[in-house]
Amino acid sequence: MLLENKVALVTGSASGIGRASAELFAKQGAQVIVTDLAEDDGHETVKRINATGGDSIFLKADIGKMSEVEGLVNAATQHYGRIDVLFSNACHYPEGKAADVPEEDWDRVISVCLKATWMLAKHTLPGMVKRGGGTIVVTGSVHSLFGFTGTHSYDIAKAGLLGLVRNIALDYAPTVRINAVLPGAVETGLWDHLGPEEREKIAKGLPLQRNGQPEDIAQAALFLASDMSSYVTGTHLTVDGGQTCGFMLDPD
């Protein structure tokens, strides 16, 4: 029970990594606030948690907007009394090169994938400091470390998260710890357009020869959210099946 008596807010938890993490956090003793724009799927996450003896509520919010982030944190704090663990996980992933990305898409990606973590931290940090402790986990990506073709604004947003993590770690240590988890090729809803052959091709290009699952990232998020990582702050944990080790040369 690594998160016993903790209250955890998990964004983007209607599906994928967020849902897997919300469920795992609850199994480890946390009371969990599930938040997403996908209302029906968010309620399904809560239903799954509560059906196994957990304690969870759903709060709909657009975490790309300051007013809704503030309302979310206030509502969560009013219900459970505090937030001990923040997992900023939600993302927005349109494709496009620099000259092709519409301004509204650029702004939305930056708001959801980068600015949202600052906005969430802005409204949760004062309570954590007042209570004398807290942890923040951020979902970055292997895109935080390397550029990929056709994902211009997403790459920039995810890279920016690493600077934000370092800055908050410096400003709020030793009271609050913050770290990022960087997923690689993980099969979430973003992969719905990929067929079995395409997925297998991606897996064969990874040292561990399989694509990641949301549960793989949830385990890493639990490590960073709990006291198992009590001497870790301001850094990132890459969970990518070895993708960023380097290029694999085909022995044939």
Contacts of 219 (CB under 8 A, 6+ apart): 24
Q: Are 64 and 111 in contact (CB under 8 A)?
A: yes
The two tokens of residue 124 are 């949760």
Q: Is 54 helix (H, G, I), strand (E, B) or coil?
A: coil
Among this protein's residues, is 93 annotated catalytic? no
Q: One of 93, 154, 172, 231 is an active-site residue; which one?
A: 154
- 8 A C-beta contact, residue 11 and residue 35: yes
User: What does the alpha-carbon distance between residue 50 and residue 9 come to, in Å, rounded to a whole number?
Assistant: 16
Alpha helix ranges (H) inside the chain: 16-27, 39-51, 66-80, 103-110, 116-131, 152-172, 196-204, 214-225
Q: CB pairs under 8 A, 24+ apart, for 70-78?
A: 70/119, 70/123, 72/9, 72/33, 72/35, 73/9, 73/120, 73/123, 73/124, 74/123, 76/7, 76/9, 76/33, 76/35, 77/127
State the pairing for strand pair 236-239/55-60: unpaired
What sign has the CA pseudo-torsion 123, 125, 126, 131?
A: positive
Q: Which positions are annotated as active-site residues? A: 154
